[in-house]
Structure 1
């Protein structure tokens, strides 16, 4: 099974990164997409993807870091995207929940990255929080120019899911669905997502599944916990986990691995 969202550049992994990757492989995780959230971390993610087998990376600027977008940022990302390990532009998008960067700065960086992905014929790996209407408005004109678009860590409403699916987006599902407090709405809408538009991720080191037993002493999420998320998603959808694993892996290969 393939984890499309691993923040392996996080300082939480500095002391045992090799062991984290080994545990993931030992748990049956066959591949990982390492997330780049700004230029420096995108460069780090690419280096880690080169270092570890069956790992790839994204290159982009997260909305939290959009205030740092400069005219030469696109050039640097364009150069990084030439590396064989880099298979998507992102993590990019909008986050109006915290507004670490202003909405205007976020929209400028998001639009620039959509243009870059279209130019390079790469899929986009996206983030959206409390910004659905504007996110869809900015994204829609680019969709016929992009090979694929993935909204990672989807936690939105059923209506928002339908908006995304009607436009052909893939939805990434995390351990949020294992949260008996915040994940109930996501649990209910899971069956409406076509299997061929579904991807799975941990978003490690964040979003440790709340129903995971025993919980790690560190309370840190790891890609080794992806099988637990797969089992829970399959149960909520009424599907065989092995079948769902194959389908989601096929989705990943179609969207992210065609370049390699």
Structure 2
């Protein structure tokens, strides 16, 4: 049965993923203008904890995200309110393409020398496929969708499923634009399960009183994975 809710504007403060291996937590801090100015990143696994703070700086149509030591720096370029391209911490360039405001591909551009010593560029696209405005696949495998509407307050929960449960999005450089809400439209509905490529795993949801998603749980035999969201007024 579909849950009917009225969207209330809340501010996302945390995204937490937990499974049998440990936890991954993103904590968002906002500036006076209401934009994210810091991203806390904490990983707990095998009894060890790794913590990092990334500063977010906006300079015109450019966004710089860097850890406090600036050992990792990501540079994003905006166009029409969306991330159009970026350079990751290793100097690799990526180009993002959209159709009707939906992200349809992320293209990695790699440079190398050919046999003659000349620099050549090769492009490797990761395709995002939609059906009825729902992101049904990233690079081949993906999700099955139902009728429940997707209410997004901050990052798209569907993208979080692709990142944390399906691991189709692995790098922070790929995930940060989604945390910032700068990748175009979100999926219209919520998925009921993964597709056959990912084992037809079912998803269950809990909700905040105002209608936003509180948690997403996926159970694979004895392994339970949970994505949790925290908000503030």
Instruction: Choose between structure 1 and 2: higher strand proportion.
Output: 2
Instruction: Choose between structure 1 and 2: higher helix proportion.
Output: 1
TM category (shorter chain) comes to 0.3 to 0.5
Give TM-score, length-normalised by structure 1: 0.34
Structure label with greater radius of gyration? 2
Give TM-score, length-normalised by structure 2: 0.36
